[in-house]
C-alpha cells in the first residue's frame, strides 16, 4: 500500500532554545482527513507557540491510507518538537454516524501514536476547552480566537480553524497538567 505524500497546509514554526524548566505540550484537533496540531511551550509564566498547523490528507484518499498519512504527519511533529504531554480534544457526535466513525478511527490512530512515544495524554472536552480559553463553555470559534490572541500575545491568527482548535486544546492542557488535582494517564 502506497502512502500519499504528506502535505502541510499551514505551518508556522519558531524554534526556541531548550529550557530545562519548561513544559512542552502538543494540542491535537482530530479529524478524518485533517488534523490540527499545535505545540506550546511554557517556561516560567511565559507561554509560546512553537509550531501549529494541519496535517492534510488529499481529497479522495481511502481508508486506511488516510490514517497512515495522519500518523506520519503527527510523528514528524512529535519527533521534531518532543512534547512530553498531549492534549487531544475529546470527541462527541450525535448526528452523522459515518462521519463520527471516521473521526473516531483517526483519533484512535493519533492516540496510539502518542502512546507509542510514551507521551502523557490529556483529553479535555470541547466545553472544557471553551471555558478554559474564554471563561464560557458555550463560546464560539471567534471568541476563542480573540481569547487566544490576548492570552498568548499574538496578533496574526493565520491558518485553518483546526490548527487554532489545537492551540486552544494545548493551552487548556497546560492548565490541566499543572493542576495538583489532575492525574494524567502516564504510559509505560
Binding site membership for Mg(2+): which residues? Answer: 29, 89, 162
Point out the catalytic residue in the list 29, 41, 56, 165: 29
Q: With residue 84 as reference, give the H or E element that holds it.
A: none
Residue 29 bears catalytic tag: yes
- Long-range CB contacts (< 8 A, 24+ apart) of 134-142? 141/165
C-alpha dihedral sign at 87, 64, 93, 115:
negative
Map grid coordinates 507561554 to a residue. 47
Cell of 45: 509564566
Helices (H), the chain: 65-81, 97-116, 126-134, 141-152, 161-177
**Binding site members:** 29, 89, 162
Find out whether 70 and 57 touch, Cβ atoms under 8 Å.
yes
Point out the catalytic residue in the list 41, 123, 162, 165: 162
Q: Phi and psi (nearest 5°) for 39?
A: -110, 120
Point out the catalytic residue in the list 41, 89, 123, 165: 89
> Which residues are marked as active site?
29, 89, 162
Amino acid at each position: 500500500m502506497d502512502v500519499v505524500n504528506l502535505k502541510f497546509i499551514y505551518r508556522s514554526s519558531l524554534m526556541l532554545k531548550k529550557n530545562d524548566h519548561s513544559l512542552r505540550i502538543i494540542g491535537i484537533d482530530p479529524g478524518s482527513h485533517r488534523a490540527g496540531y499545535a505545540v506550546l511551550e511554557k517556561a516560567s509564566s511565559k507561554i509560546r507557540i512553537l509550531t501549529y498547523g494541519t496535517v492534510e490528507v488529499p481529497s479522495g484518499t481511502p481508508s486506511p491510507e488516510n490514517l497512515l498519512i495522519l500518523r506520519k504527519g503527527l510523528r514528524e511533529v512529535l519527533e521534531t518538537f518532543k512534547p512530553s504531554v498531549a492534549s487531544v480534544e475529546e470527541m462527541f457526535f450525535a448526528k452523522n454516524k459515518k462521519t463520527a466513525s471516521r473521526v473516531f478511527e483517526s483519533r484512535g490512530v493519533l492516540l496510539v501514536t502518542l502512546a507509542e512515544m510514551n507521551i502523557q495524554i490529556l483529553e479535555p472536552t470541547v466545553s472544557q476547552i471553551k471555558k478554559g480559553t474564554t471563561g464560557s463553555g458555550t463560546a464560539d470559534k471567534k471568541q476563542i480566537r480573540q481569547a487566544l490572541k490576548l492570552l498568548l500575545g499574538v496578533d496574526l491568527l493565520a491558518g485553518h480553524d483546526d490548527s487554532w482548535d489545537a492551540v486552544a486544546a494545548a493551552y487548556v492542557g497546560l492548565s490541566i497538567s499543572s493542576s495538583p488535582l489532575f492525574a494524567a494517564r502516564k504510559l509505560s
